[in-house]
Structure 1
């Protein structure tokens, strides 16, 4: 975890992860990696709850589009895909976390930064500064499947969801609270919002819920969202593309084996070569089984 990007502190039973500095907290690969490391570290420490906050006027201003556009073509598309994949993994990590999570939206939360706030169990938002803003429609960026599903599940009112996603409306804390998107609009400064979020988290931690059951309920409550992110979570070693490639290799190997068997029946193929292909196909079957590790 890079201390320059985020810091972790413990307040009672609550782990607080803070995006440090006065910048926009753009979700670059480096920041996403630091966040995932911080969440993993918090999980290992078994806190009662988790709070995510940001310093300065931004909670997070979304993906680091300047970094995405900095590379030569077709780098922008590849780099944006890289950030989306890492963010998908972060959402999976939060959904699978065996403790309650609270976002302390201390400033503007735009694009993927808005989605990051909504990925928590509860949201406390600063009343005097900051907007929830799904900026994709204004920025000309596609909302990918898991973000669309996240917004659909966490913004229950269809009209509010339309205004947020299709109109790019910038919602204040009071508006978001009134429309059921955030849990509390908090007066005061950054520290007041963080303190309110910690108090919410402490209240949830005091319930002493079974952590694994909590994570299972969260996944079952939003099954479509979980299905779109689960293969990118921190406890999964194999990735969908790797599994797909393995399955394709197995299919090709089986096809080759069947064809070679026909040749062997006609005495066109040495027995040792047929045995080699059979052994290879069996090894590929064994290798396709997902292996789970704890990071």
Structure 2
């Protein structure tokens, strides 16, 4: 679960508890509910949102154990799709949020958890604990297309993106700063959050219009928003299930066109044969 509190001129959303903060439907719904409450606050001129977490994990990604805790493959697939849909909804909420956002990473952020962190405008990472880690390659999963679209927007160096995805590199705060993934390194957990609060207060002083800020962010991350429209699922082992529903529907339409085309050609041939007198009318 999570809490939302106001500290000075900034809001702090905290993933509570000492678990791994796996992105299951319960946690995702809780975060989105907090963002809806935040949108209802009188935040003009724009405030700032800071997201952080208790314990040794910022977020360890999708809750794959929950998804696979059934003997029914159809239920497992449905749970994959549910987590994907809810995370994509959360990412859309963050991108359109009318205020700057800061992720104060105080622990490990893996796979979808790393993606969740990078959806924020600024990232501050604790020095003495935690990795950024796109773990998909190590655990036999395929990275969804929209994950890659976000990484392309957030990690400017192609070699850094390659190492992040195709080496499954475990990046410390210092390494992440060097690759341009993280903006700033904090000390311990408390110091990292305090650094985020100071940054937030500085941005608040600019008194930006939140709606204008959000629209500019949506332009910058337009590629990500475009990809969120696809029904990407949590990918299964060995690349199974990595075709989106959109692709399958589109492929089905192509087969319909082929069948119709074949019938038209057969009708033309039959008509030609009949008119040529090769067969009686």
Category of TM-score, reference length = shorter chain: 0.7 to 0.9
What is the aligned counterpart of 2:27 among 10, 31, 35?
A: 31
| Partner Cα separation in structure 2 for residue 55 and residue 25 of structure 1 | 9
Q: Secondary structure at the residue paired with 2:171?
A: coil
Q: Secondary structure at the residue paired with 1:114?
A: helix
Q: Secondary structure at the residue paired with 1:45?
A: coil
Residue 67 (1) aligns with residue 63 (2): no
Corresponding residue for residue 140 of structure 1: 140
| Partner Cα separation in structure 2 for residue 196 and residue 230 of structure 1 | 35
Corresponding residue for residue 76 of structure 2: 76
Corresponding residue for residue 15 of structure 1: 11
Map 1:177-188 → 2, pairs under 5 A: 177-187=177-187
Q: Secondary structure at the residue paired with 1:22?
A: coil
| Partner Cα separation in structure 2 for residue 87 and residue 10 of structure 1 | 24
Corresponding residue for residue 209 of structure 1: 208
Q: Give structure 2 stretches of 5+ with no counterpart.
A: 232-244, 254-281
| Partner Cα separation in structure 2 for residue 46 and residue 20 of structure 1 | 25
| Partner Cα separation in structure 2 for residue 77 and residue 159 of structure 1 | 33
| Partner Cα separation in structure 2 for residue 100 and residue 226 of structure 1 | 17
| Partner Cα separation in structure 1 for residue 120 and residue 229 of structure 2 | 16
Q: Give structure 1 stretches of 5+ with no counterpart.
A: 233-239, 249-295
- Please provide the CA RMSD for this pair: 1.9
What TM-score, normalized to structure 2?
0.79
Residue 152 of structure 1 and its aligned partner are, at CA, apart by: 1.2
What is the aligned counterpart of 1:45 among 41, 45, 54?
A: 41
Map 1:1-295 → 2, pairs under 5 A: 5-47=1-43, 48-71=47-70, 72-187=72-187, 189-229=188-228
Point out which structure has higher relative CO (alpha carbons under 8 A, 6+ apart).
2
Question: Kindly tell me: are residues 171 and 46 of structure 1, through their superposed partners in 2, closer, same or farther at Cα, counting changes over 3 Å?
Answer: farther
| Partner Cα separation in structure 2 for residue 231 and residue 202 of structure 1 | 37
| Partner Cα separation in structure 1 for residue 198 and residue 21 of structure 2 | 24
